[in-house]
Amino acid sequence: MRLVAAFDKDSGEVIGEFSPVLKGASGYGVWESFVDSRGNLWVGGDINRSLGANGEQRTVGFARFAPRDVTAPSTPSNLSVQRDGSTDKLSWSGVRESGARYQVLRDDRVIATVSGTSYEVEHTDGARYYVRSIDASENFSASTGAAQA
């Protein structure tokens, strides 16, 4: 059995990416659903299997679907670029989010993803650099202002 659609609680719009697979022994389906105070969707009924992050799993009566993290991380700050011969050395102040990574952009194109707060690249005349952070849920921050060597 497939829960056909879920709706956003604020806008009432269908959430297209939410398409859980639930299976029941007798085919009676879901007879109850509610959203708790933490935003978890609970469904209950004739459910004995569901499709989870690690594949199909045993499910007894109820299944919980946690809300997806959609909050962007903070934007890095203090981006600076220093030219050292044929190399541009970038450095910036990191963000506080645990496990944050950083994308380095040159002229609006991603050239690297790093876990530290510095990066070296071959110099390109007139290049403009930006940095943005990425959290564990693959949410992106805004980009820093442009910096040039």
pLDDT in tens, 59-98: 777 777 777 788 899 999 999 999 999 999 999 999 998 8
Burial 133-146 (b: 16+ CB within 10 A, else e): bbbeeeeebebbee
Task: Give the separation between CA 143 and CA 67, rounded to whole angstroms.
Answer: 26
18 with 38, same domain? yes
Residues 86 and 120 in one domain: yes
Scan for tokens 């040159």, then name that residue. 106
The domain total for the chain is 2
User: Sorting pLDDT into bands at 50, 70 and 90, what band is 2?
Assistant: very low
My answer on whether 47 and 88 are in the same domain is no
Residue 2: both structure tokens together: 């497939």
Q: Is 38 part of any domain?
A: yes
Q: 17, 34, 68: which is the final residue of a domain?
A: 68
Does the structure show a pLDDT above 70 at 34? yes
Among 68, 103, 125, identify where a domain stops: 68
Domain span at residue 96 reads 77-134
Residue 147 placed within a domain: no
> Is 15 part of a structural domain of the chain?
yes
Return the higher-pLDDT residue of 49 and 8: 49
State residue 3's pLDDT score.
Answer: 45
pLDDT band at 103 (very low <50, low <70, confident <90, very high): very high
- Show contacts of 115-119: CB within 8 Å, 24+ apart: 117/76, 117/91, 117/92, 117/93, 118/89, 118/90, 118/91, 118/92, 119/89, 119/90
- Mean pLDDT score of the chain: 85
37 pLDDT band, cuts 50/70/90, is: confident
Q: Which of 68, 91, 110 is the last residue of a domain?
A: 68
